[in-house]
Structure 1
Amino acid sequence: MKNFYTYLLLVLACVFWGVGFPIAKVGITYIHPFVFAFIRFFAVGILFVIVFRLSVFNLILKLKSNFTYIFLMALSGIFLYGVFFLFALKFAKASDVSLISGANPIITAVIAWILLKENLSFFSKIGVALSFLGIVFIVSKGNFGILYNFQFNLGDLFMLVATTMWAFYSVISKKALKRIDVFEAVCLTAFLGALMFFLPAIVFGNIRNIGNYPLKAWLSLSYMVVFSTIFAFSAWYKGIEKIGASRSSVFVNLVPVFGVITSVVLLKERFCLYELIGGFLVIAGVVLTNTRDLKSVRIKS
Structure 2
Amino acid sequence: MKAYLLLALTPLFWAGNVVSARAIHADLDPVALAFLRWLLVLLLILPWGLPRLWRSRAVIRAHLPILLLLSVLSVTCFNTFIYLGLQDTTAANSAMLQSAAPVVIVLLNFMLLREGLSLRQWAGTLVSLAGVTVLVSQADLSLVLGLDFNRGDIWIGVAVLAWSLYSVALRGRPEGLDGFTLFAFNVLIGTLLLAPFALGRLGGPVEIQWNLPVVSAVIYMAIFPSILAYLFWNRGVAELGAARASLFIHLIPVFGVLMSVLFLGESLYLFHGVGILLIFTGIYLATIRRTTGRKAGTKS
Tell me if TM exceeds 0.5: yes
Structure-1 residue corresponding to 2:298: none
Structure-2 residue corresponding to 1:278: 275
Q: 1:121 deviation in Å? A: 2.5
Structure-1 residue corresponding to 2:86: 89
Corresponding letter in the other structure for 2:194: F
Q: Distance in 2 between matches of 1:118 and 1:242?
A: 28
Structure-1 residue corresponding to 2:131: 134
Structure-1 residue corresponding to 2:68: 71
Corresponding letter in the other structure for 1:24: A
Q: Distance in 2 between matches of 1:230 and 1:38?
A: 15
Q: 1:233 deviation in Å? A: 1.3
Q: 1:186 deviation in Å? A: 1.3
Q: Distance in 2 between matches of 1:46 and 1:120?
A: 43
Q: What secondary structure, in the 3-state scheme, does the structure 2 residue paired with 1:225 have? A: helix
Mind listing any 5+ residue stretches in structure 1 that lack a counterpart? 297-301
Count of residue pairs the alignment pairs up = 292
Contact 2:56 2:177 in 1 (8 A): no
Deviations 1:216-255 (A, max 9, x none): 1111111111111111111111111111111111111101
Candidates 145, 156, 177, aligned match of 1:180: 177
Q: In the alignment, does 2:242 pair up with 1:250? A: no
Q: Distance in 2 between matches of 1:110 and 1:117?
A: 10
Q: In the alignment, does 2:45 pair up with 1:48? A: yes
Structure-1 residue corresponding to 2:292: 293
Corresponding letter in the other structure for 1:261: L
Contact 1:134 1:277 in 2 (8 A): yes
Contact 2:63 2:174 in 1 (8 A): no
Q: Taking structure 1 as reference, are residues 49 and 121 closer, same or farther at Cα in structure 2, changes over 3 Å only?
A: farther
Contact 1:21 1:97 in 2 (8 A): yes
Taking every aligned residue pair, what percent have the same amino acid on both sides?
25
Corresponding letter in the other structure for 1:253: H
Contact 1:130 1:282 in 2 (8 A): yes
Q: 1:21 deviation in Å? A: 0.8
Q: In the alignment, does 2:109 pair up with 1:112? A: yes
Mind listing any 5+ residue stretches in structure 2 that lack a counterpart? 296-300
Q: 1:293 deviation in Å? A: 2.6
Structure-2 residue corresponding to 1:194: 191
Structure-2 residue corresponding to 1:103: 100
Q: Taking structure 1 as reference, are residues 55 and 242 closer, same or farther at Cα in structure 2, changes over 3 Å only?
A: same
Structure-2 residue corresponding to 1:226: 223
Contact 1:27 1:218 in 2 (8 A): no
Q: Distance in 2 between matches of 1:229 and 1:197?
A: 16
Aligned pairs for 1:51-62 (under 5 A) are 54-58=51-55, 60-62=57-59
